[in-house]
Amino acid sequence: MKFTLGIEEEYQVIDPDTRELVSHDQKIVVEAAKHLNEQVKAEMHQAVVEVGTNICNDITEARTEITHLRKSISDISKELGYRIGAAGTHPFSAWQKQLITPNPRYDEIVNELQDAARSNLIFGLHVHVGIADKQLALHLTNAMRYFLPHLYALSTNSPFWEGRNTGFKSYRSKVFDKFPRTGIPGVFDNLTDYENYVNLLVKTKCIDNPKKIWWDIRVHPFFPTLEVRICDVPMTIDETISISALIQALVVKLYKLKTQNLNFIVYHRALINENKWRASRYGLDGKMIDFGKECEVNTKDLMLELLDFIDDVVDELGSRKEVEYVKTMLKNGTGADRQLAIYKETKDLTKVVDYIMEQTVLGTT
């Protein structure tokens, strides 16, 4: 079985003079489409550009694609007088000033969700792992839920919101929580249960299609993938690739356990949410709950345990180097830690934006 990869990143479009988020009026998307076809998309807010890799056979291909996408979008943005940045929220721009992209789908979402949609000025990383069998994908999704806070802690990159230090390492999820059908999903025993749930929502006009189920992890409604959606967009290429490699390795490890008739314990959503809250608040610097031992453990220690857990699959995936980079992230801190360090040093949020812009294109030349 080949567990292919697809990675989506959402970038901020920034005015290089004011460092504010700015509408690019889809100029970046139009220009990028000439070279990158369907790999670049508009998002609901005009200050966002979303990119997606092609289907990648391994993490090396994924790195090549992400590097190419970041460089291409950065170069196009510069030509048009903009810059791009990769962080889960902008340090000081106000959502009230941002324009919505004209599109019937976005109009419908804003009409239904009102300020919850208008204020949803956030930037994420979505990682797809290819699994054609939806029943298998659902089984692995149930087990993967436990690890979502770990992945989230590693990706935390949104400590500021509208000019304030929020006290959270990732405020992005606090903004997104206002949407319905978000967060850690519950457990579905089988595909029929899940499909009955979706069909009921469609029938009762809660949703018109299952893409409006925005959980932190989901069996993708249209692609043959399991999609992890909990992460802030990481600041650097190395961080995105390391987290993506970790997600792929976790899926493969859990699949191997299943083929050996060994199941990872499936925990209640209420318990996993405790760890998600801690990840959002403290990032890598706090403690999370080890539900097996029923005690608190330093999050960094849990990360090292996680690396041990997947150690037997990373070589066959060709991703040992990328997964080992997690140790560098534990040492250097997440994007949130580094943003906060720049702010502590300079007391200037424009300097934080400068740092984000510089780190976003690191390794593209």
Which portions of the chain are predicted below pLDDT 50?
none
Residue 58 lies in a domain: yes
- Give which of 290, 340, 319 is closest to 150, Cα–Cα: 290
Within a domain: 317? yes
Asked if residue 272 lies in contact with residue 215, where contact means CB atoms within 8 angstroms, the answer is no
DSSP string, 60-116: HHHHHHHHHHHHHHHHHHHHTT-EEE--SS-SS--GGGPPBPP-HHHHHHHHHHTHH
Specify the pLDDT at position 102.
84
The CATH number of whichever domain residue 263 belongs to comes to: 3.30.590.20
The Cα 7–Cα 216 span in angstroms is 15
Q: Containing domain of residue 304, as a range?
A: 5-360
Q: Is residue 331 part of a domain?
A: yes
* C-alpha to C-alpha distances, 194 to 135, 137, 209, nearest whole angstrom: 10, 12, 14
Residue 365 forms part of a structural domain = no
- Between the alpha carbon of residue 153 and those of residues 42, 87, 201, 344, the distances in Å are 28, 14, 31, 21
**pLDDT for residue 163:** 97
Whether the CB-CB separation of 243 and 310 falls below 8 Å is answered with: no
**Dihedral sign from CA coordinates of 21, 357, 243, 68:** positive
Q: What is the pLDDT of residues 123-172, one digit of tens each?
A: 999 999 999 999 999 999 999 999 999 999 999 999 999 999 999 999 99
pLDDT tens-digit map of 180-215:
999 999 999 999 999 999 999 999 999 998 989 999
User: What pLDDT shows up at residue 13?
Assistant: 97
Whether residue 70 contacts residue 360, with contact meaning beta carbons closer than 8 Å, is answered with yes
Domain membership of residue 350 (yes or no) is yes
Residue 210 lies in a domain: yes
Put simply, whether the predicted model's pTM sits higher than 0.85 gets the answer yes
- What's the pLDDT at 44? 86
Residue 100 has a pLDDT of 86
Is 26 contained in some domain? Answer: yes
The predicted pLDDT at position 302 comes to: 96
Looking at residue 263, what is its pLDDT?
Answer: 83
Number of domains in the chain: 1
| Residue 261 within a domain | yes
